[in-house]
Amino acid sequence: MATAGEDERTEELETLQSIYPELVIDAPFAAHIDLPVAPTVPLPVSFEPIQEVHRIAYLPPLRLHLALPADYPAEAPPKVKLSTSLSWLPPDTVEKLEKEAHALWEEYSGGQVLFAYVSYLQEAAETAFGLSELTLLDSVQNELLQYSKRMKRELFDKETFDCEVCLEPKKGSVCYRMERCNHVFCVQCLQDYLNNCIEEGDVNNVKCMSTDCGKTMPNGKKKERLLSPKELLRIPLPLQAVERYAKIKRKKKIEADPTIIYCPRSWCQGAMRTDKYPKIKDVREMDDSDSEPEEPVEPPSDKQPTVSGLEKRMVGVAGMDRLAVCEDCTLAFCKVCLASWHGDFVRCEPRDKNQLTEEDQASLNYIMRNTSPCPTCSVPCQKSYGCNHMTCFQCKSHFCYLCGAWLPPENPYGHFSNPRNKGCFNRLMDLVEGDMGEGEVQFGGARGAEQMADFWEQEAMRIQNELNAQDS
Amino acid sequence: MSASAKKRIMREYGECMTEKPAGMKINFDEQNMTKWEVLMDGPDGSAYAGGHFKLEIVFPNEYPFKPPVVSFRTKIYHPNVSNDDKGSMCLGLLRPDEWKPPNKVVAVLRLIQSLMVEPNIDDAIEPSIGNEYKENRKEFEKNAKDWVKRYAK
């Protein structure tokens, strides 16, 4: 019953407003409020006529218009009207929800029901008002998806995260959520880490930093997905770094593939054209989830695809197609003799092996002097950090950085504690800070012998030069 | 070393001060914060009980993207610690390919403590000690305790 001065309806609306400050009172006994719709399980929505299903986490709010008649609450229920922008909520659901106001009012037998009703709507929104899926016209698709994305970003920006790397609390607006695993780091740490990996060429570590990431596979190895160039740009990393990343990743794959031959022009040395590793056109479009760092290279099969109908007559040995085309300079050359293409019916001339440019000779010298070859796959390795027990980044063989010996995986350290291995005994932790390629590593074994021979040769030359200088 | 790396080391030290991990004492020098000295007690019930071990933790310039380097400055008879004047360790978390930036020094220290209770024989840096642990536990414990008496009192 209305008491003198204050109307019961005004009082109820004011109370409601103190609970929901976003409630707008339009007229003495009318108000409206927007209730956010963020179902706990994103709602699957498909858009006609395309049958693509999107799971939408944030839908445009449900607007509730309230009007309180003069004999509310004792004699009449509140008048409610529900609507959604883009009218995404189906009319029958709207009707059902509106009817609930009446039912509640009856249940409360003429008491104040506004708060109970708003709570009811909020609760119903969490389960998407009982909807299990939704079909809408594709004309609203963009707007709906944009809205959800914007809301997600806004809420994320307002949140605070403890970055696990710098250990500082950071606002969401300077954080990034990893697309695949949802781990959150601050952008600064992510950039530092990823740029560092890419700069060092350590592309196999371009992945989420979290310790939870990467499931341990049944074989005990961790398998983690590398980040796609597109995602790196979103973090954002500079375009240049992302291009380098994509390039190195592709190069590693090509290098691991024994069937790829390189262009014989010393100034070019591009790989031969192949469909297996498409050239990088634009990293901004590279969404590849390709990510196994080490895909097994399929051995070239000798089987020719059987063509139905007319059978093609093959020339020479099957699978011995000699023609290759350089992907960089488009030179057509022979895979066998590396001369420019001589046609199918010419025998290959032996090639001259001393055709290295000065630059190549210099890098070859560097590699010979400052790297240890993997005993299994011969890939040259330079230690950037850690002990001298190495695991090959390409084939995972265990070996000794000092003498290049293969080490048994079940006991790789025995090598360093056996006094018989003179060059390596007790030297597991030599140069733990990494080999900077400045000749500070004293290699062991055959490598050490080469190194020593080289040293004495240089020494002899130096002494000879000094003597010559004295003589003249 | 970058400012953010220094900040992180400071923060980790702060955490170690508030949550004092049991069984160890950390000496921290603000002038040289990339080198910590830790005094670790041999865990009760292990062969190292009663001993005090000095450890050195060196943070690389790229920390926390690369792991800290740990070495025992007190000699210890243990399959996972190199039996030389370096006392190095190179396993689990401490391997560059296993390390992840969110890992903290405390986790490393806990790993060391648990290794003192139960060595990791599969990744032994000293296989002869590892073998002894596996096949002649009595002899191993005798040797380990002997070393505690000799070096770690």
A158-217: pLDDT as tens digits: 889 999 999 889 999 999 999 888 899 999 999 999 999 999 888 888 989 988 886 555
CA distances from A414 to A59, B91, B128 (A): 62, 14, 8
Bridge partners for A272 per DSSP: A326
Q: Quick check: A413 and B60 CB within 8 A?
A: no
Which segment, A4-18, A213-227, A358-372, is predicted with the most confidence on average?
A4-18
Nearest chain B CA: its distance from A436 CA (Å): 14
| Interval A350-371: pLDDT, tens | 655 566 666 677 777 788 777 8
Average pLDDT, chain A: 82
Residue B33 at interface with chain A, using a CB cutoff of 8 Å:
no
3-state secondary structure A350-409: CCCCCCCCHHHHHHHHHHHHHCEECCCCCCEECCCCCCCEEECCCCCCEEECCCCCECCC
**What pLDDT shows up at residue A301?**
45
Mutate to test the interface with A, among B18, B65, B69, B110 (most CBs of A within 10 A): B65
Bridge partners for A190 per DSSP: none
Residue B136 at interface with chain A, using a CB cutoff of 8 Å:
no
Walk me through the domains of chain A, giving residue ranges and CATH numbers.
Answer: 4-149 (3.10.110.10), 159-212+223-252 (3.30.40.10), 358-459 (no CATH)
Q: Which domain holds residue B48?
A: 3-151
Compute φ and ψ for A84, nearest 5 degrees.
Answer: -135, 145
A220 pLDDT band (50/70/90 cuts)? low
For chain B, the residue count is 153
**What pLDDT shows up at residue B93?**
82
Instruction: Calculate the CA dihedral of residues A14, A16, A21, A27 and round it to 10 degrees.
Output: -50
Residue for token pair 């592709």: A250
Mutate to test the interface with A, among B100, B110, B120 (most CBs of A within 10 A): B100
More confident site: A279 or A122: A122
Give the C-alpha separation, B75 to A83, whole Å. 76
Query: Are A411 and B128 contacting, i.e. CB atoms less than 8 angstroms apart?
Result: no
A115 pLDDT band (50/70/90 cuts)? very high
A305 pLDDT band (50/70/90 cuts)? very low
Question: A35 pLDDT exceeds 90?
Answer: yes
Give the C-alpha separation, A133 to A51, whole Å. 13
The region of weakest confidence among A23-37, A147-161, A211-225, A431-445 is A211-225
The mean pLDDT of A15-41, rounded to a whole number, is 92
Give the C-alpha separation, A217 to A463, whole Å. 59
Question: A299 pLDDT exceeds 60?
Answer: no
Nearest chain B CA: its distance from A51 CA (Å): 42
**A-chain residue closest to B68, CA distance:** A386
Question: A13 pLDDT exceeds 80?
Answer: yes
A237 pLDDT band (50/70/90 cuts)? very high
CA distances from B100 to A163, A165, B96 (A): 13, 9, 8
CA distances from A85 to A89, A99, A197 (A): 9, 20, 46
**Backbone dihedral region for residue A316 (phi beyond 0: left; psi -120 to 50: alpha; all else: beta):** left
One DSSP character per residue, chain B reads: --HHHHHHHHHHHHHHHHS--TTEEEE--GGGTTEEEEEEEPPTTSTTTT-EEEEEEE--TTTTSSPPEEEESS----TTS-SSSS-B---GGGSTTT--TT--HHHHHHHHHHHHHS--GGG-SSHHHHHHHHH-HHHHHHHHHHHHHHH--
**What pLDDT shows up at residue A294?**
42
| CATH code for position B36 | 3.10.110.10
More confident site: A349 or A387: A387
Residue B7 at interface with chain A, using a CB cutoff of 8 Å:
yes
Q: Quick check: B103 and A211 CB within 8 A?
A: yes
B71 pLDDT band (50/70/90 cuts)? very high
> H-type helices in A236-386, by residue range?
239-255, 358-370
**What pLDDT shows up at residue A354?**
60
Residues of B forming the active site: 90
The region of weakest confidence among A234-243, A299-308, A393-402 is A299-308
The mean pLDDT of A106-123, rounded to a whole number, is 91
Q: Quick check: A165 and B122 CB within 8 A?
A: no
Q: Quick check: A166 and B7 CB within 8 A?
A: yes
Residue B14 at interface with chain A, using a CB cutoff of 8 Å:
no
* Angle (deg, nearest 10), helices B105-117 and B3-18: 50
The mean pLDDT of A436-454, rounded to a whole number, is 75
| Interval B10-46: pLDDT, tens | 999 998 888 888 888 998 888 888 999 999 999 998 9
Report how many domains make up chain B: 1
All residues of chain A having their beta carbon less than 8 Å from the beta carbon of residue B65 are: 192-193, 196-197
* Interface predicted TM-score (ipTM): 0.84
The Cβ of residue A442 has, within 10 Å, a number of other Cβ atoms equal to: 15
More confident site: A127 or A218: A127
**What pLDDT shows up at residue B142?**
93
Chain A with chain B: Cβ pairs closer than 8 A: 78
**What pLDDT shows up at residue A22?**
92
| Interval A322-349: pLDDT, tens | 888 998 899 998 888 888 888 888 877 6
The region of weakest confidence among A65-74, A209-218, A274-283 is A209-218
E strand or H helix that includes residue A416: helix A414-417
The mean pLDDT of B98-104, rounded to a whole number, is 90
Rg of chain A, C-alpha, whole Å: 36
Residue B60 at interface with chain A, using a CB cutoff of 8 Å:
yes
More confident site: B96 or B81: B81
Nearest to A165 among B66, B101, B127 (CB): B101
Q: Quick check: B90 and A389 CB within 8 A?
A: yes
B9 pLDDT band (50/70/90 cuts)? very high
A307 pLDDT band (50/70/90 cuts)? very low
> H-type helices in A159-273, by residue range?
187-199, 229-234, 239-255
Determine if the peptide bond prior to A373 is cis (ω within 30°). Answer: no
Give the C-alpha separation, A439 to A435, whole Å. 8
Q: Quick check: B100 and A429 CB within 8 A?
A: no
**What pLDDT shows up at residue A224?**
66
Residue A176 identity: Y
Query: Are A183 and A199 contacting, i.e. CB atoms less than 8 angstroms apart?
Result: no
| Interval B43-68: pLDDT, tens | 998 999 999 999 999 999 889 999 99
**B-chain residue closest to A200, CA distance:** B62
Give the C-alpha separation, B71 to B124, whole Å. 15
Residues 94-133 of B with CB under 8 A from A: 95-97, 100-103, 122-128
The mean pLDDT of B117-146, rounded to a whole number, is 90
